[in-house]
Amino acid sequence: MKPQVSFLIPFYNPGNRIFDCIESVLSQEGPEFEVVLVDNGSNDGTFDMVASKYRIHHRIRLAHEPQIGVAHALNTGLKWCSGQYIARMDADDICLPGRMVKQAGHLDSNPSVGLVSGLVQHKGGDTSEGMAFYVEQINKLIKSEDIRNFRFIDSPFAHPSVMFRKELIHLYGGYSTDGVPEDYELWLRWMESGVTMEKINEDVINWNDLPTRLSRNHPNYSRESFESARIPYLNRWLRGNVRPDKPIFIWGGGKFSRQKARMLEQAGSRIRGFIDVVDKGVVDGKPVIHFTRIPPPGSIFILSSVSNRGKYQEIREHLTSNGHVEEIDFILSS
């Protein structure tokens, strides 16, 4: 029987941890499914161990390729997936009971939804305070509007928590191999194309934030790489949604905000000035408005670019309490 769901799991040198991951997927109940494993050039013997243990398992499909990169491995795996829905997993993580039937059921019941995620249980050590805060933030994003409003701040999903319709790959393309965070760029591209994304308000995975995790060590997931992925979509949104006669001011006068202004201007947006919590007069030749002297709604468009942890919420509350409307008078970024 053709599977309805394909679990896609790329791996590189995960050791025995991969077996806990695989078994957590194989224990799922619900529709027919398969597990597509893509070995991304492991040299720790994992490929042989997996091949030996699951060589005759009817659900397991095992592919091998050189270590080209995780985005390439994901695209290779997508070609192997035969299910209507693609569920992502990473080899370090655990799929919680009931995940598949709940997410597949959500897509079945909501044909206008292209991707569904869920809540994640963060499993990290004492060095994972930043990741724990990030998980706390994204676990609050359930409705499609909240997910969309977060998209220029950070990725609204833990990648291994998503399930999406395979047809989206054919319609809008797969993972980028251009040296950017491949999942974040994909969400931005699909949302720009009008894909509706939601979450079920239930835990779907244990997300193990290990020191060896790729997102902690690879340059594709640096702040600069996230900005490189974000800027083209942010620029197109600004140019398509902000009137040409409405000046754009960036909230934030620090190094990263100035860098964002330069990158946006190089992409075609015109940045008139900055908003800050201190009186700086002029920054990079542009005027700085103190945040207590922001003009009334409709006068300017505000792009928040403050990256301090959680400050975007304070900025949103300040602006909305003064009558500014999100995506009409301001948008949040980081």
Could you report the per-residue pLDDT of 87-139, keeping only the tens digit for each? 999 999 999 999 999 999 999 999 999 999 999 999 876 556 788 899 999 99
- The class of domain 223-332 in CATH terms is alpha beta
Instruction: Kindly report the CATH number that applies to the domain delimited by 5-220.
Output: 3.90.550.10
**Domain spans, the chain:** 5-220, 223-332
Could you report the per-residue pLDDT of 151-195, keeping only the tens digit for each? 999 999 999 999 999 999 999 999 999 999 999 999 999 999 999
- The set of residues, in sequence order, having a beta carbon less than 8 Å from that of 14 and lying 6+ positions away, is 21, 42, 46, 91, 92
What's the token pair of residue 140? 């609050």
CA distance 81 to 6: 6
Residue 211, H or E segment: none
pTM of the model: 0.94
Instruction: Work out the angle between the directed axes of helices 46-53 and 17-26 (0-180°, nearest 10).
Output: 30
- The set of residues, in sequence order, having a beta carbon less than 8 Å from that of 45 and lying 6+ positions away, is none
Residue 190 C-alpha from the chain's centroid: 11
Burial class of residue 227 (count of CB atoms within 10 Å of its CB; 0-12, 13-18, 19+): middle
CB 173 within 8 A of CB 185: no
CA distance 257 to 274: 9
Could you report the per-residue pLDDT of 260-272, keeping only the tens digit for each? 999 999 999 999 9
